Amino acid sequence: MKPQRKVIVVGGGLGGLWSALRVAEAGFQVEIFSLFEVKRSHSVCAQGGINASIDTKGERDSVWQHIVDTLKGGAYLANQPPVKTMCEQAPGIIRTFERMGVTFSRTAEGLLDLRLFGGVKNRRTLFAGASTGQQLLYGVDQEIRRQEALGRVRKFEWWEFLSLVKDGQGICKGIVAMNLRTMDVKHFRADAVILASGGMGHVFGHRSTNSTNSTGAAACRAYQQGARFANCEFFQFHPTAMLGDDKTRLMSEAARGEGGRIWVPKDPAERRKPTRIPEQERYYFLEEWYPSYGNTVPRDLASRAIWKVVHEMGLGVGGEHKVYLDITHLNPGFIEQRLHAILDIYRKFHGTDPVHEPMEIYPSAHYAMGGLWVDFEKDENSGGLKAGSPRNHASSIPGLYACGECDYGYHGANRLGANSLLSASFSGRVAGEAVASYLEGLEAGLEAVPEHLYTDEVSRQQRLNQDLLRGGAENPYTLHHELGEIMSSQVGVVRDNATLKQAIDSLQGLAQRCRAVDLESNNSWSNQGLVYARQLQEMVRLGLVIASSALARDECRGAHYKPAFELTPPTDAYPGDPAYEVYREKWKQQNQQWLKTTITEHSTAGPRISFEQVDLSVLPPEEPRDYR
Amino acid sequence: MANTIELDIRRQDTPYSPPYWQRFSIPHRRGHNIVSALMVIREHPFTQEGKRVDPVAWEFNCMEEVCGACSMMINGRPRQACSTLVDSLEQPIRLEPLSKFPVVRDLMVDRSKIFNDLKRVRAWIEIDGAWDIHQGAPRISPVAWKENYLYSRCMSCGCCLEACPEYATEKDFVGPAALAAVRLMNSHPTGRYHRRQRLHAIMGDDGLSNCGNAQNCVRVCPKQIPLTTAIGELGRQTSLQLLRDLFGESE
């Protein structure tokens, strides 16, 4: 009889739970580690929907079009075989969710309803009221609970992943984690580990739409132990986030889609209430700069325009980093019906009513396209992923897999709306199946791994805790504000090399200061300060990874915008025109040099950058993205 | 408006130590919610008398009232701290941990009982496996969807359980949240196949009949889930099930 194999999944969001489910269904034991009850993971925050081409609206939508939109939207930077298979299998993922009991919104016929989302022409987005992510997560959470009742899954909630344990050959064989109540540091053996630790928005401080636990710390710890990062310079900034001291909250694109207008007072010294500012003294800059799209330009263009008006023209409302998103001119009954979810959030968290007073918004760090590098195996017959290959979603450390937002797989240089719930679910499923194959091929059992490798790592982690607890003068919470300030203003929406170099210097200084924080405490029970201080160190390291990757890429692609290297299409020229064809040639030359995956490896001297070819076998890059 | 925010916070260092109160005062800022106010205290952990203390421990995550993490007693009422604006409250603001769950530290409590109860009532749909069988679940009418959707938004925050007079640490009553989950699962077109097991799980001791109909649950639910309607519907379902158990299943 084969020994009973065990898998550890770190993270209980959509990606983590899907992978755990597939590993458990393959007959292996699973242990899920999460910072909190898994039902509280950040996946619940996704509101809009999940993409799958099911073509039930008479629009001749196709899987191929979903593939094209995803690849072009990502400026061709994603490896194409995984994207192809993801889009092909999206309808099957939806059908599975439906069987799990997810309450997708329905048409009059009782069919799954679809809505239109940004960056595409056809209705392709399934949704469950205004809480799609929550409903999807709960669907898988219920199945995991059933697996728990069957004894195949065990949850370790309120545990923080600290590090991997590798055997003599460098193969991952378990983890070290800290109990967030008792603060005990312990090791856990496993035949394979799946990291599904989510996003890293809080590297940008409170200017992020992410949940407060989305620090990226777990992925960064794996990085320091040899896992490679990829494409970390690509971070999506959502243009219309509601401001907050604690975090920012997303005001969906729907507000602009339904007729919302973005403006600032023309006079930077303006201090009147917005409703008292006459029409001719308002600057509707998006409408002026993009006459054909107006307020509904894509996310990245809107974010850059807001950045420009605030930072370069100094026209932020009240001298601060904010602009107005105004729906007060629209019919109140209409917007109440169409924008209920947004109005609800704004009223609840801001205390004012957007029906009567313009909302104050600013671009905010929303989604990391980059993350842990993961492998894939291409099926030569289909051109997509090879089903069940143990290479799929394998990180650069043998035995360690990654899925969900913490990997870099599917979105290239920019993510389409409603593709994140899809990639989280799909990548989780693929990772789980890949791990099952990996375990089938394993010869030696865990008993072959010497005990001291585990206990040594536990001691190392305990020493790190003790070093931090020894104390210093810095306030970790204040340092986090500084980190957010550096990242948002110098590594944010608009980038240039001189500023990025400054940011790297500042981050190196911050990294030093993070080692001597004041954690004065009489209580060793549930020491949140210690946990926070450790996460902060990782966030600063991630900041360095992001800034270094951004510095290395001298071009504009997707969410990475360096105006000094901008290539713009000629005005009034379209495909076929000689001027446009000259532009197309330049664009292709740029791809020759820069259409490559950025790889970041940890070294004591700092992040080491290299580049890797992208698999472009599905849709060769012939057409530049053009939103005119 | 006052230029400071005063908070009285019930502290408890460990699950085994006695609670005590401390008062904090922070500068007023428009738009503060309870979590953002606690973040200010965490950064400057001094009581009103200027004494340096350990930062207050509490749970929070999404900050958009969808994860259910930050439940606590705010001026005597169970609420989500993230969506409770300071300016809507009388001061000093009293913060306490939920009382129906064991305190871990300060405002953090251990709510694992909620998730165990979901297991107890088998709140899941039985599927053969998480793979594509090339068809979805049967169709669902928009009317049925609308009712189900209300229940599917339960985020296991525990507010209803805190308010329920029958729910207690030392008692085993499953409580309104798990009951509403049974209502939801039983109405799914294939979830119905296993409603007998779910109904049996709530028909015995500590099940549906323990509800005293105080209706507190529905009043405090941050998601306005019609918990008492679910309990009413389950009353009918369990009565029918009782008859089926006596006279045999007809389906």
Amino acid at A188: F
pLDDT, mean of residues B48-73: 96
| Chain B positions in Cβ-Cβ contact with residue A37 (cut-off 8 Å) | 111-112, 115, 156
Selected residue of A14, A47, A106, A273 to mutate for chain B interface (largest B Cβ count, 10 A): A106
Q: What is the spatial distance between Cα A47 and Cα B62, in angstroms, rounded to a whole number?
A: 12
Same fold, B4-109 and B112-247: no
CA–CA min distance A508, chain B (Å): 23
pLDDT band with cut points at 50, 70 and 90 for residue A627: low
Domains in chain A, start-ordered, CATH in brackets?
6-237+367-453 (3.50.50.60), 238-366 (3.90.700.10)
Looking at chain A from residue 321 to 380, which residues have their Cβ under 8 Å from any Cβ of chain B?
Answer: 345, 348-351
Which residues of B fall within a CB distance of 8 Å from A106?
A: 139-142, 145
pLDDT surpassing 90 at residue A122: no
Residue A2: its pLDDT value, please?
61
B29 → closest Cβ in A98, A245, A522: A245
Using an 8 Å Cβ cutoff, are A174 and A193 in contact?
A: yes
Q: Which of A145, A522, A525 sits opposite B119 (nearest CB)?
A: A145
- List, as one string, the DSSP characters of A372-417: E-----B-TTTSSBPTT-TTTTB-SSTTEEE-GGGB--S-TTSPPT
pLDDT bin (cut points 50, 70, 90) of residue A1 is low
Which of B62, B140, B188 is facing A45, going by the closest CB pair? B62
pLDDT at residue number B170: 86
In chain B, which residues have their Cβ closer than 8 Å to the Cβ of A535? none
Q: Could you tell me if B132 lies within 8 Å of chain A, comparing CB atoms?
A: yes
Q: How far is CA A365 from CA A102, A217, A242, A559, in A?
A: 29, 17, 12, 11
In the sheet where A29-34 sits, what is the strand order? A153-157, A29-34, A6-10, A192-195, A400-402
Mean pLDDT of all residues in A256-279: 94
Is CATH 3.40.50.300 correct for B112-247? no
* B18 at interface of A, judged by CB pairs closer than 8 A: no
Confidence tier at B1 by pLDDT (50, 70, 90): low
Q: Per-residue pLDDT for A298 more than 90?
A: no
pLDDT at B108 over 80: yes
The stretch A216-232 carries a mean pLDDT of 98
Contact present, A557 and A74 (Cβ < 8 Å): no
Two structure tokens written together for A104: 């997708």
Q: Does B185 touch chain A (CB under 8 A)?
A: yes
B206 — pLDDT class (breaks 50, 70, 90): very high
Confidence of residue A117 (pLDDT cuts 50, 70, 90): confident
User: What confidence score (pLDDT) does residue A296 get?
Assistant: 84
pLDDT at B175: 97
**How confident is residue A451, by pLDDT bands cut at 50, 70 and 90?**
very high
Contacts of A522 in chain B (CB under 8 A): 13, 54
Q: How far apart are CA B80 and CA B61, in angstroms?
A: 11
Query: What does the longest C-alpha to C-alpha distance in chain B come to?
Result: 72
Fold for the domain defined by B4-109: Ubiquitin-like (UB roll) (3.10.20)
Domain ranges of chain B: 4-109, 112-247
Q: Is the pLDDT of residue B251 over 60?
A: no
The pLDDT mean for chain A works out to 95
The nearest alpha carbon in chain A to B70 belongs to A40
Q: Is the pLDDT of residue B250 over 90?
A: no
A45 with B125: Cβ contact below 8 A: no
Query: ∠ CA A16-A17-A23 to the nearest 5 degrees?
Result: 90
Give the tokens for residue A198: 């989510």
Give the pLDDT confidence of A147-198 residue by residue, as tens digits: 999 999 999 999 999 999 999 999 999 999 999 999 999 999 999 999 999 9
CB contact B16 to A (< 8 Å): no
pLDDT in tens, A362-377: 999 999 999 999 999 9
For A349-359, what is the mean pLDDT? 93
Catalytic residues of A: 299
Are residues A212 and B63, on separate chains, in Cβ contact within 8 Å?
Answer: yes
Query: Residue A77's pLDDT is what?
Result: 98
Among A19-33, A592-606, B3-17, B236-250, the range scoring the smallest mean pLDDT is: B236-250
- Quote the longest CA-to-CA distance of chain A: 81
Tokens 């929550």 belong to A134
Task: State residue A291's pLDDT score.
Answer: 86
Across the range A17-39, mean pLDDT stands at 98
Give residue A155's pLDDT. Answer: 98
Q: pLDDT for A508-554, tens place per residue? A: 999 999 999 999 787 889 999 999 999 999 999 999 999 999 999 99
Q: What's the token pair of residue A31?
A: 């242990």
Closest CA to A324 of A243, A263, A242: A263
What b-and-e string marks burial along A2-34, b requiring 16 or more CB atoms within 10 Å of the CB? eeebbbbbbbbbbbbbbbbbbbbbbebbbbbbb
ipTM of the complex: 0.98
Residues 6+ apart with CB under 8 A from B151: B180, B181, B183, B184, B225, B226, B230
In this prediction, residue B249 carries a pLDDT of: 72
Q: For residue B101, what pLDDT is reported?
A: 97
Average pLDDT on A340-362 reads: 91
With CB atoms and an 8 Å threshold, state whether B140 touches A523.
no
Quote the percentage of chain A above a pLDDT of 70. Answer: 99
Of A292-296, A358-362, B23-27, the least confident: A292-296
In this complex, do A244 and B31 lie within 8 Å of one another by their Cβ atoms? Answer: yes
Partner A, chain B 201-220, Cβ-Cβ below 8 Å = none
Q: Nearest C-alpha of chain B: how many angstroms from A620?
A: 30
